[in-house]
Amino acid sequence: MNAFVADRLGPMFDRLRTYDRPLLVIAAVLIGLGILFSMATSPTATARIRIEDAFYFAARQAAYAAIGVVVMLAAASLEVRQLRRAAVILVGVTLPLCALAAWIGPEVKGAQRWFDFGLFSFQPSEILKPALIVVWAWMLGEAMKSARFPGRAVSIALFALAAAALLAQPDIGQTALLAMCLAPMLILSGMALRWVLGGALAAVAGAWAIYKFYPHARERVDAFLNPEGEGAYQVNRALDAIAAGGVFGRGPGEGVIKRSLPDAHADFVFAVAAEEFGLLASLGLIALFGALAFRGLSRASRLNEPFEQIAAAGLITLIVGQAAIHIAVNLSLLPAKGMTLPFISFGGSSMIGSALALGFCLSLLRDRPGAYLYTGPRLD
């Protein structure tokens, strides 16, 4: 019996030993904090929508976290070739779904980004993001190997298609986040400086066009520029919550201002955490994402294959960039965007998308023969 178990489980444990342990620890801590903060925000969120179970959202977040762990480990177990194939399939499925959601999805706060299945809703853009980054990296890696391969043109075309689908919803925040990921990936692939500058000018023109033709975006930018107006109510309450928390916070479950934050369990969970756990906890949360960025990018820089290097860097940029936008919005450093905090904010699609991104990254950063340019100093 012991020999049978060893034969079955031995290869699995051998593979687990190749995963980057610091990244796994950071992911576990973030997921645990997500459940903890959901317990803090769930009572007020359930009271607002008149659900009797005060910890309804916390229980669902724990279930989403369990699914996320399975997705992350499954993605981490993929070989490089399997990873690319999975990413292509996911892009082929979720990109049309994003366009379909903009057409037939239920409207929530002026946007159509989800499919409602009763017991749960599904936001395809959360799955599209990590898959699209892997496909971009594949195209850019091939372009680095062969100057004749139009990898950069294909990547930009895929971004244009994704941006068109997302802006139709509209989801300006996710579009901007994808642009933030693609830009450094193009630079890493060796794109000429003149094209980089041209892309920057195109981004400025695109931002102006969005402000001009999207009333919802214009309202949020105007509210950001005029924080005393009614449009900045949520951000101002988030700032009040952060200030009320002080250094050590009011205590778990003792937050008061969260009761007047409609999206306290999702878009403003950082503010709730700051009110209840204080400045030290807020800085610790930021430090966790900083450690994720440092560990992931430092290992990615040592990878041997261009595709693996660009993909891992892009996936880390996706997770940390999304976290930076969420925190910046809560601190009134950016206009409100409705961006979740990876692994922390409530939401099944957000949790699974973040887990998929980190799982892909763990797959690329595994210790494998010949994967790294050099082995010392020790990577673990």
* pLDDT tens per residue across span 28-80: 999 999 999 888 888 777 877 777 777 888 899 999 999 999 999 999 999 99
Evaluate whether 334 touches 325 at the Cβ level (below 8 Å): yes
Which candidate, 212, 215, 209, 208, places its Cα nearest to that of 110? 215
- Answer yes or no: pTM beyond 0.85: yes
| pLDDT number for residue 49 | 72
Evaluate whether 222 touches 229 at the Cβ level (below 8 Å): yes
- Burial class of 162 by CB neighbour count within 10 A (0 to 12, 13 to 18, 19+): buried
Tokens for 285, please give them. 């949360």
Backbone CA torsion sign across 131, 133, 134, 140: positive
Q: What is the mean pLDDT of each run of 10 residues along the chain (380 residues)?
A: 52 72 95 90 77 82 95 94 96 96 85 82 94 97 90 94 94 93 92 86 91 87 82 83 88 78 80 90 95 95 92 97 94 87 92 96 87 57
pLDDT in tens, 214-237: 888 888 888 888 887 676 788 888
Q: CA 117: distance to chain centroid?
A: 23
The domain limits of the chain are 20-364
